[in-house]
Amino acid sequence: MYIIHTIDELKELFSSQKKIHLYGAGSQTVNFLSALNSCGIIPNITDILVTDSSRTPGHLQNIPVIQCNKPTLSRQDCILLTVNDVLQDKISAYLEDCNAEIANPLPAIYNDVYNSIKPFAEHYPDNLTGFNAPDPQYSDKIVWTCWWQGEKHAPDIVKACWQSQKKHLSNDIQHIIITQNNYSDYITIPDYVLDRFKDGKNGLSYLADYIRVSLLYKYGGVWLDSTVLLLESLPKQCWELPLYTWRLNATQFCSKTIWCAWFLAARQGSPLYQFVMEAFLFFFSKYDKIKYYLTIDYFISICTNIVDGVLEQFLQIPYNNATAANLGCHLHEPYSEEQFQKYCKGSFLQKLNWHLNGEYAENSILTHIIRENLT
């Protein structure tokens, strides 16, 4: 297996005569396809290979998903491993005896993000803005969330998730919803950052990324996305460990450790969130548009590589919420308490989605969640 280090190398590969296959039909592949689009690469992908096609959809973004048949692969084939780090080595070993080229394209995206903030990263921490310095007057027992347009404009599924969060918080924990009308009560967002979100230049999810890391750096506490359904009380580790987040016994996204941006916790003054906040500030001072959907994940990954102690803090986090992504895949299904509990078993929260397609029946799981929390 060889490493693709730059976007130019990726472009060269896709302009070659090679038959290009991706390996893996999960979130890593979806994010890779999005990254190609952001780079202006029109991918000529033959298919997406998987080990077991019985457990995957027939197509992913109109690309056929098929079971890998090693004997059919030749030297004219190139397989890009768009899977997590744990599976990279396993699948590379599985493909070792086939004739195709095997490559890992993901470092090219990491390096592209790193290069966009390289002057900042190379001199960190000598070039800080000082924005959103920690405020010792606030307790760190705060749960933060955000709906920029304002609470009354949120869809019912978001309002239901907020109610579930409030329902399971003890009286000593504040629940604060950040909006465009109150953000200035808590953090500073420079005008040059806000300008990057005028006229739809960047999606509001990227502004929320800046907001979440700024709040956690200044105040500490827990960030829950507005589509996180809380099923029980948050564990004490959220308040006791230097960092806390969703952690699986596998590698996700772009990193050698585990995190997710929709559920983050930290003590006030966390060096991780200071770095990521300052990285966003540097980026927006230089560029109009964010290229990659998972930019916050790459900033976190960069931080673990250059800021002492941050990776060790991630590794202190116990594995948790193994099934947190389950329920969101079944919202159309008829509700039954037995199935609901089955989907949620092993997790104290579930990540849902407010981008809902189609109509939902009165007896659907989605309708049950809304009715249970809003009536």
125, two tokens = 């921490």
Could you read off the pLDDT of 202-254 as tens digits, one per residue?
999 999 999 999 999 999 999 999 999 999 999 999 999 999 999 987 655 44
Q: Indicate whether 208 and 302 sit together in one domain.
A: yes
Rounded distance between C-alpha atoms, residue 244 and residue 258, angstroms: 10
For residue range 92-129, what is the model confidence (pLDDT) as tens digits? Answer: 999 999 999 999 999 999 999 999 999 999 999 999 99
pTM (two decimals): 0.92
CA pair distance 272, 76, nearest whole angstrom: 44
Q: Which residues pair with 64 in a beta bridge?
A: 59
Is 335 a member of any domain?
Answer: no
Residue with tokens 């998730």: 161
193 inside domain: yes
97 and 161 both lie in a single domain: no
- Show which of 261, 294, 315 is a domain's final residue: 315
Both 170 and 52 in one domain: the answer is: no
Structure tokens, 12 = 């060269």
Whether residue 168 is found in the same domain as residue 289:
yes
Q: What is the pLDDT of residues 47-60, one digit of tens each?
A: 999 998 887 889 99
Do 90 and 129 lie in one domain? The reply is no
Q: Which domain holds residue 101?
A: 2-111
Do 136 and 7 share a structural domain? no
Overall domain count for the chain: 2
**Count, residues in the chain:** 375
Token digits of residue 355: 């981008």
Inside any domain, residue 366? no
Let me know if residue 329 belongs to a domain. no
